[in-house]
Amino acid sequence: MKLALIGDPVAHSRSPALHRAMLQEAGIEGSYTAIRVPRGNGIDVVRRMRLDGFTGCNVTHPLKEEVLRACDVLTDEARRARAVNTIFFSRAIVGTTTDGIGARIALETLADEPIALHRIGVLGTGATARAILVELHDNDAYAFVWGRDLEKVAALCTEFEAQPWPVHEPPEMVISTLPPEVSLPRDLIESLQHVDLVMDANYGERSTLRRVLHREVVDGTLMLEAQARASFDFWLARLEGVGGGEEQAG
């Protein structure tokens, strides 16, 4: 298997180490490299990777929306999230997203129970946030959305049957998809002090939300590991010719 990660930045990413370990664990000969691809170059790079014999690739910021147009086929999750973080190369370029699955598994691991019927807040309105909202909706969680652009928040609430950020009673759990070193309004910081569990989708040195909130924050390591496993399983299933029924043309 010839695999890669594309995005910008990628030097910090733990994905290569995770996927190389998965290859070794599965007894599969292969490689996984991190390739820096600036915004605006994603479509050309994805199409070239197919010609260069890649089996699949992961996609990170800022390309998750851009590479949609390079995909011939989208899974239901990618179509609804309007974002791709995992691509499989065959006769068609198939795109999916495992960000939502990764977030759900991480939250369920930390809470030690399913997310169904829990009140879960999502900070942000971008590609990762939408993938998480798809998963929350499909697993019967009560979702709440915070973002600076109120029109985007309202649109996501309608699309995913979520609610705007509550003024009084905060969610039980919150996952932030915001960038590192983000500046947050004082009322949101105050609200987040009363949340049982806060998780930052960023990990390692890029997980700075703890400093912003001055409280315990779980970084995105668990989410990364879970979404990486889901991506790897997606590639294996495709190689074995399994699970094609959920796709729609992109």
Q: How many CB atoms sit inside 10 A of residue 53's CB? A: 8
Given 19, 50, 64, 118, the catalytic residue: 64
SS3 state at 131: helix
Let me know if 92 is exposed, middle or buried by CB neighbors in 10 A (0-12, 13-18, 19+): middle
How many residues are given for the chain? 250
* Of 212, 196, 198, 75, the residue nearest 131 (C-alpha): 75
Angle at the Cα of 73 (from 69 to 74), degrees rounded to 5?
Answer: 85
Show the tokens assigned to 146. 């915070």
Active site residue 64: yes
Active site residues: 64
